[in-house]
Structures are given as C-alpha cells and as structure tokens.
Amino acid sequence: MSRSAAANTDDSLELLLDTICNTFGAVVFITILASVLAQNSAPRPVSPEETAAAIEVTHAQQRKLAELQQQTALLEIQLQQQQNLIDRFSSSEALTLAEQLLSDSSSQAELVEQKTQAVEQMVLSERQQLELERILQTQLSQLQKQKQEQQDAENDLRNLDTLAGHTAEVRRVHETTKFGFTFALDDGRLYAVHVSDDPRADLMSLTINRNHCTVEEDGGTTTIKPIPGGGILLRGVANAQQLARAEMQDVSQRFIIRLFVAKDSFAEYLPVKEAMVELGLEYAISVMDGDAVELTLTDRVQDRTFVQ
C-alpha cells in the first residue's frame, strides 16, 4: 500500500511540473509576440515635405469647411425668407389676391389673343382688299379696252347706216362674185339664216334655216325674220367668239359671209368679226334701219359684192 501511494504522488508532481512549464512557455511566447507586434506597429519618421503637404491639405479642408458653413448660413437665411413669404401668402386675403391676379392674367391673355386675331383679320382683309383692287383695276382696263373696241365698231357701223339695206363697203375691201352665206345679229343673238343641205364644201347648196328663222308669205312677198329667243346667245357670254366660230366653221370658202346687224347688237359684232377673221372667211356687213333684222327675198341678182 505504501509503495502505491508514493508512485501516485510522483506522477502528480510530474503533471504539475509539466503544466507549469507549459504555462511559462506560453507566457514567454506571448511576450515575444507582443514585442514583435509593437516593434512593427511603431510610427515611421515623417519627412518635412510630407508634414507641409499635410498642413496644406488641412488648411484647404478648413477653407472649404468655412465656405460650406457660409453657404449653409445663406441657405438658412433664404429658407427663412421663403418661410416668411409662405406664412404671409398663406392667409385667406393672400389667396384671394392670388386668385384675382390669376383671373386678371387669364383675362389679359384672352384680350391679347383677341387683339392678335383682330390684327391678323385686318391684315388679311387688307390683303384681300388689295387683291380685289388689283382685280378690279385689271377688269376696268379690260372693260375700257372693250368699250373702245365697241366704240370703234359702232363708229364703223354708224358710218354704214346710210347704206342700210345694201351691201356695206368698208376699209380693206375688194370685189368678189362669191355667193353669200347669210347670218344675222339680232337682240344679242347670232342667227344662221342659211343652212347647207350637204356638209361637203364642194357640194354645198343653201336653203333657209327654219330652225333659226321664220318665213312669211304676204302677197307674193317673202319675209325672213329671226325667231325670238332662237339662234346662239352671245350677249353677256364670256366665250362669245368661240360660239360664233363654232357656228361659222362649216361655211365653205366658196361663200362669203353676209352679216346683217340690228342696231341693238353692235356689241356682239366684235366677237363675230374676230371669229370670221380667225376662220379666214370673207364677209360683208349690212346695218338694218330698225332694231330688228327683217330680210325680204328678191329676184335681183347682185353680180359684185365688196367684202373684207
């Protein structure tokens, strides 16, 4: 028993000694590690240039901070002013005044728009007036020209008045023995007194056109009168010359145009004359005594005719 107890006591001491040695070794290791770390973490020496640079950066930051503080103070002042304005205009009187100003602004904008439209309308009206004046001036010039031409024609026809019922001899005339293809101007209308049975120029034979005229027999006298409202209307028609040309274009060159003109149809003589000139037809003009055309057939043969 004594021997076993002594053995147990020796083992315990060894274990204690081993623990103490391990603890001491750990303390020594920690001490060395702390020394190494402290040595590695010690601040390195700073050069004067780095110190000056750091001071400059610090001063710059300080200046920027001062500027920011000034801006902050200015913003606080502006915020306070805005708050004061909000407090001032948040009252009922301020809201009423604002609504009134808004209404006045809208009314003024409407007035400006109306004024602009009125000015545009005035400008447009002025342009239209100028255009109308230009058109009227052009029409007036054309009317004066037509009046002058009509006056010239009337003068020519009045000069022929003493030759009423006979073939008229006028300017630029010459003799011809061609047969006459008769037309009449009465009441502003062009009547084809003659019509051909055959449209072929070399076979044309003339008869009285009963679609345009009436034929009356009275005691052996044959009278030819234009049918009222018949013929081709030329008075007041813009394309009177074209209508006259269409009516006369089938007349053969074997004939001359015998044109009998009533005194009330002098104005319609001009487009008919232009149509005959355009077709290259020879024509002779006779002016009637009265205001209507009335032709009487006769057996007398006229061998020579003066034509234009």
169 and 33 assigned to the same domain: no
**Number of domains the chain is built from:** 2
Contact assessment for residue 205 and residue 198, using Cβ atoms and an 8 Å cutoff = yes
Residues 6+ apart with CB under 8 A from 206: 179, 181, 194, 195, 196, 255
166 and 301 assigned to the same domain: yes
What is the pTM (predicted TM-score) of this model?
Answer: 0.45
Domain assignment of residue 53, yes or no:
no
Domain assignment of residue 100, yes or no:
no
pLDDT in tens, the chain (308 residues): 455 555 556 667 777 777 888 888 788 888 888 878 877 665 566 678 878 888 888 888 888 888 988 988 898 898 888 888 777 766 677 777 778 888 888 888 888 888 888 888 888 888 888 888 888 888 888 888 877 777 776 666 666 554 444 343 344 555 566 778 889 999 889 998 888 776 665 556 778 888 889 888 877 788 888 999 989 899 888 899 999 999 888 887 778 888 998 888 888 888 999 999 888 888 888 888 777 888 887 644 444 444 44
Contact assessment for residue 254 and residue 178, using Cβ atoms and an 8 Å cutoff = yes
Rg (CA), the chain: 63
Domain assignment of residue 46, yes or no:
no
What 8-state DSSP symbol labels residue 46?
A: P
**Domain assignment of residue 243, given as a range:** 161-307
Domain assignment of residue 128, yes or no:
no
Domain assignment of residue 119, yes or no:
no
